[in-house]
Structure 1
């Protein structure tokens, strides 16, 4: 059933965010459907203003707001054993791959097209597919032109840090207040196992010497960003047997130097990707191994747990990449920015977020008042903080933990879509069940009897009884039922 068109004039008066999300994907688009605390009182108001609509810097914001990456920086100055930058990889979802590389002029056209059709868009980033600071001329030209066209979009940059110190002053001048640095080590001996070579100061370095230079430049860049008040997110790739234990030390170092967030991501090492680690059999961590390490890091630098390890040309909400809708051949040669959809969307979201916070607080009270144990809940969602995705359509599940400490977002689990063409695939369901290791309950908008029964046989309950409720409201009610706690009035 197709989604009816909704006029721009009516968008701001709508109270249903689901309707507005559906609207953003009609009228010319073909697809259907971290981090910091969600409480503004926990932050200086200037910092809260920077992160509240940033889907990577605020876990709560990622339910409502989208990011976009433009692939304008293909050159790189280091080689990582987990990286193989690939071109024209529409079906591959990992950092460093793109379907098309862009010039700054092409990037401007693409950003305007996305901004006109994706009202959730709040952030534009340059994350390669090489290094944005090393390929600086293209990066700077792109940011300058975008800033002239779209004044209310946040600008972000992602870098390995080797060339970062050379450009901090320009980042400040351009009002770029979010930077991501990938830091996988603070011990050059471990770094030598991750980086075969770097290219610095017109010379190639290898081994421990290369890792030492990279480490020193990364720490310098981080300290400079902190001194200028730029929020920094540190990405670290968890490589079992190489740096997994060492990341505890990395977390301490980056916290001491002012990193705002630390994002520990799993190594992606499929041999088909052609990386050194993939071809030599280096495995990535299991979901529970990653969670265990993240749990050990609690109390250090703030953790981001909702990262999707985005492509260098990703578009849309985290977990819902719409990049293939906006290839250059689908974008008009002449295009003008129209801010109306984004303005209307932000008005709706402001009201929805207020209601969501009230519901979340009520659910948290229920859980904290209980004397129960821990409950691991996987949620199928399309955004908006609600349980609004069919089990068979889910490409990922967002994982929450409920305990006497409250309700916490802990991870996401990517899966293959179970229903294609109206039929479920048995092999796919087996993979989903494996991905749901350690999960007690699955919440979704709808689920058929067959997958529900097979999940139950595997020890995972699944229910659509809370379809379209706020996620935390449903988890609170579920927790109350599980541990015999009466829900508080007005929170069910």
Structure 2
């Protein structure tokens, strides 16, 4: 949906435009790409910012072994409550994985993508990985197939990847300098030998760059993931972004290090911190000068199921899948109809939005100065504000300005209230949520209770429940306009200047 104007000049000419999937969001994010590439990613939730509001993905855990060791990784099993890469509850055989995929696809019509991402490296387990892909290419031809890899074995597997319905590959590239790599990778397993330190990192980097170029030469879309590790590669990732763009990658995903001590990783045990929200955003903005940035990544488990930001894996454990009666041919028709409805709805929104304006005429006439504002949004999907503040497990963060609304990331939080007698620690949880929303000046949700409303206001965060079921970016733009017209942004700017002077 095109939100045609946020700001207008005095003569009613548009100053700038934005998309309802987020100014700087998926429509703008992909607008420069050729049509055939946009067609590949328009309903891929891991590649398109707009698609992640409407379509679902699934990962199957068929690849247990890994050929490198990363200081931020600890592969775990039976960790249903832990959400991060490398974690799974069930390791599947290829036959089990195919059966599970078809069951999920029959029950979640939004599902468009199946990926293999672990818990080890898919290409270090080529027989299991490609057996899964071979079966799905035949039995579920309507599902896009993806693979995520560290890239060490990638050059040897490009030909095999091209034989299947795989046109999206993600490579995790954390450095292009072996000295930096030696601080991240203690060893790689290469040609039947364990190679340590800088020498191992150098081989890994060379293989990653070679494989990246081979894929893009074949027309396969490549997204590059990079883990931001403060003090290790944070100053280096701008260079990584430049290099992978030159090699043909079309999307860069800079993710924060997850390093809680309880996860048992080397970095976690040694006290390596992850980046702050501001540090991550600043680095993403710097890298965005060289290529498209992905900001909606949830760093999913290796067995994730459902929309980004949710996990429905418990509904599809193998004991439940085994007793499901799936008519996949019929399910495929229903899925096609459902997804066509979604796309028709999005197309209608784009058409109707050509006449939608969010005027800030008064501001431009008076030449008022405004500043960007961060807002948190509670949503359960669909690109609209449709979630109660107390039910949110995460908030999407948007930055609004006079001429733009852009999605900049998400922040996971504990449930403030899950009902019943589980809210006894609500005050502590609410205070933690407020700390996680630091920097935000408004929270947009469908509803919010009196107690959290008061606490948020006291903390300088304005709750807003007036835009339920409205498109997110439209609502963010409206709230920003209200803040600007009331003089709130100017007042805050003056307060900030006074505080800085003091």
TM-score strictly above 0.5: yes
Corresponding residue for residue 250 of structure 2: 260
- Aligned partners of 1:244, 1:367: CA distance in 2, in Å? 38
Of 76, 83, 86, which residue of structure 2 is paired with 1:96? 86
Secondary structure of 2:123's aligned partner: coil
Corresponding residue for residue 229 of structure 1: 219
Mapping 1:25-174, distance limit 5 Å: 36-38=26-28, 42-174=32-164
Aligned residue pairs: how many? Answer: 452
TM-score by length of 2: 0.87
Gaps of 5+ in 2: 1-23, 487-502
Corresponding residue for residue 404 of structure 2: 406
Gaps of 5+ in 1: 1-33, 486-492
- Aligned partners of 2:50, 2:239: CA distance in 1, in Å? 28
- Aligned partners of 2:257, 2:31: CA distance in 1, in Å? 35
- Aligned partners of 1:355, 1:301: CA distance in 2, in Å? 29
Corresponding residue for residue 336 of structure 1: 327
TM-superposed deviation, 1:340: 3.7
Secondary structure of 2:85's aligned partner: coil
Mapping 1:454-473, distance limit 5 Å: 454-473=455-474
Corresponding residue for residue 311 of structure 1: 301
Residues 353 and 39 of structure 1: is their aligned pair in 2 closer, same or farther, counting only changes over 3 Å?
farther
Of 177, 186, 195, which residue of structure 2 is paired with 1:187? 177
1:305-355 C-alpha deviation (Å, 9 max, x unpaired):
000000000000000111111110111356431224312321221222124
- Aligned partners of 2:227, 2:29: CA distance in 1, in Å? 28
Are 2:447 and 1:446 equivalent residues in the alignment? yes
Of 417, 420, 428, which residue of structure 1 is paired with 2:418? 420
Secondary structure of 1:130's aligned partner: coil
TM-superposed deviation, 1:192: 0.4
Corresponding residue for residue 244 of structure 1: 234
- Aligned partners of 1:442, 1:332: CA distance in 2, in Å? 43
**Residues 25 and 406, structure 2, Cα contact 8 Å, conserved in 1:** no
TM-score by length of 1: 0.88
Cα root mean square deviation, aligned: 1.9
Corresponding residue for residue 346 of structure 2: 353
Moved more, 294-303 or 156-165: 294-303
TM-superposed deviation, 1:440: 1.1
- Bigger radius of gyration: 2
Mapping 1:354-373, distance limit 5 Å: 354-358=347-351, 366=359, 372-373=370-371
**Residues 103 and 326, structure 2, Cα contact 8 Å, conserved in 1:** yes
- Aligned partners of 2:413, 2:345: CA distance in 1, in Å? 28
Residues 460 and 174 of structure 1: is their aligned pair in 2 closer, same or farther, counting only changes over 3 Å?
same
- Aligned partners of 2:145, 2:289: CA distance in 1, in Å? 29
